[in-house]
Amino acid sequence: MDVIKLFRVTRLPRLAGAATVVASAFVSAPAQPAFAEPCPDVEVVFARGTSEPPGVGMAGRAFVDALQAQVGNKSVAVYPVNYAASSDFGNRLDFVQSVVDGVKDSANHVQATAANCPNTRIVLGGYSQGAVVAGFTTANAVPTEIPADLAEYAWYAPKPMPPSVANHVAALVLFGKPSTEFMADIGAPPIAIGPAYVAKTIELCVPDDTICNGAPAGGPSFAHITYGSNGMADQAATFVVGRL
């Protein structure tokens, strides 16, 4: 269950600026083999939320189940983004590394799938901290709002994914994505979704979810942990099916 401790008010002094390093997280190392043939019709690449165990997490599982129920006879593969989803917010660099690793792994896997299975339709997704990972994975440029005191990390800023990769991505699904106001409150740039992905993106935010609804940064409301059961997974799946 993602309690997104990253955004607890008591942690903000440590995290102001730290989250900004996420802006340099678009690492695109050499692609790794995706999977053996036959290639699936659809592949979901999903990043779980903070502190959730390895896998796709509660929102991801609900979304995958809903998608599989709606795609008919199409085959659906699932790739859980391999990252820590760390809640060790007392260690600034460890937390930043968690998000950086998530963006690296997501981007690498998407590129590998596009290269090895060009007919597979890729669905990128994430919940909470995972939505940060998924959103930044699509960015077409490194945000410029990196504070001077963090300039030493600029060398770590990678190149975005090649523009051609967007042709292989059918949709981007974001559950409980931290709002622009929220990101600003913690000293981070807004989550950058690349122009080629904007029209194929669905953002799902429960009105009372204080992480995504524009409320000042602070602890999450109960609504933030309801994406696995509130019906929005079905809504997201319907959106995706219309774009496959």
Q: Which of 2, 105, 185, 209 is catalytic?
A: 209
Distance CA 80, CA 44 (A): 8
Q: State how far the Cα of 198 lies from the Cα of 106, in Å rounded to an integer.
A: 18
pLDDT at 237: 98
- 168 carries an active-site annotation: no
In the predicted structure, residue 129 carries a pLDDT above the cut 80? yes
Higher pLDDT, 74 or 190: 74
pLDDT digits (tens, 9 = 90+) for 145-170: 665 555 676 666 557 899 999 999 99
128 is catalytic: yes
Query: Taking Cα atoms as reference points, which of 1, 97, 93 lies closest to residue 52?
Result: 1
Residue 97 CA to residue 8 CA, distance in Å, equals 19
Task: List the catalytic residue out of 86, 98, 128, 179.
Answer: 128
**Distance of alpha carbon 160 from alpha carbon 139, whole angstroms:** 6
Q: What is the pLDDT of residues 12-54, one digit of tens each?
A: 333 333 333 344 443 334 344 445 568 999 999 999 998 899 9
Would you kindly state where each structural domain of the chain is located, as residue ranges? 42-242
Average pLDDT, the chain: 82
Q: Which tokens is 218 given?
A: 């602070």
Q: Which CATH superfamily is domain 42-242 in?
A: Alpha/Beta hydrolase fold, catalytic domain (3.40.50.1820)
Alpha-carbon distance of 50 to 170, in angstroms, equals: 25
Grade residue 113 by pLDDT with cuts at 50, 70 and 90: very high
- Give the whole-number percent of the chain exceeding pLDDT 90: 59
Q: Which two tokens stand for residue 239?
A: 């959106």
Confirm whether 224 is a catalytic residue: yes
Longest dimension (CA), the chain: 53
Q: Pick the catalytic residue: 51, 106, 179, 224?
A: 224
Residue 20 in contact with residue 145, Cβ under 8 Å? yes
pLDDT digits (tens, 9 = 90+) for 194-223: 999 999 999 999 999 999 998 987 778 899
The answer to whether the CB of 63 falls within 8 A of the CB of 236 is: yes
Question: Which pLDDT belongs to residue 32?
Answer: 46
